[in-house]
Amino acid sequence: MPYALITGASRGIGRALAHELAQRGYSLLLTARSQDQLAQVATELGQQYQVEARVLALDLAEAGAATRLAEWARAQTPELAVLVNNAGYGLWGRFEDLPLAAQQNMLQLNMLLPVELTHQLLPLLRQQPKAYILNIASTAAYQAVPTLTLYAASKAFLLTFSRGLRYELRESPVSVTCLSPGATTTDFADRAGMSAGLQEVSAKLSMTPAQVAKFGVTALLAGEAEVIPGALNKVSAKLTSLVPKSLTEKIAANIYEKHLK
């Protein structure tokens, strides 16, 4: 039975992706920081879909985490067919006001972890008849977002990395897809430190993690390069390529900056 490895699998989009892949017959390798939450997800998957789910509690931002995770995954199964680089978070605020160490931690998780993990697991993925990599970016990847400056930049990196790697692997069994959701009902806004007012605005436009996961896995298995869930998100991303960058940056700043204290 093929396995899928999902980072940040204990809640939100990662948890929903685990359910979506389990529905389609994949056994799961799940990792995140919380052992208790991972165990709960694994129990859910086993009971609902009769698939195997194994877990590894790990702080993925720590040095050496990618190597430890890759070694664990290789030890669990020779049939790893899906790698989902989902772990990540944002920080809201002006670049100069946010602690540098916190921003570096975010960049490690959002950018370097997917790069390191993909590099280490590609040899195993190449051994499968068909394999997939799903990188979770954001609609923020399509423009600069003042007060989410480094978060947007990290997701733009992940989108570009995905497309470049996809082309390099075009004659291999491995397909690469980038999923770029918009606002989603997760704890992203809380962890990012967004104000209550900004969270209320975001909530009105949010999709559920299950909706996002269905879009993502469907596109992944269809071999698509990119997927943006939701008509409004698609239109928004398209418009950023048609209007001057200074205008999209001003619009984003008007949304986010006015909620700063």
Q: Hey, which residues are catalytic here?
A: 151
Nearest to 158 by CA among 130, 177, 185: 177
Nearest to 215 by CA among 142, 136, 140: 136
Task: Tally the C-alpha atoms within 13 A of residue 100's C-alpha that lie toward its C-beta.
Answer: 0
Nearest to 175 by CA among 144, 217, 212, 221: 221
Nearest to 228 by CA among 170, 120, 141, 115: 141
How far the first Cα of the chain sits from its last, in Å, is 52
- Retrieve residue 249's tokens: 């940056």
Distance CA 154, CA 140 (A): 9
Cβ contact 72:124 at 8 Å: no
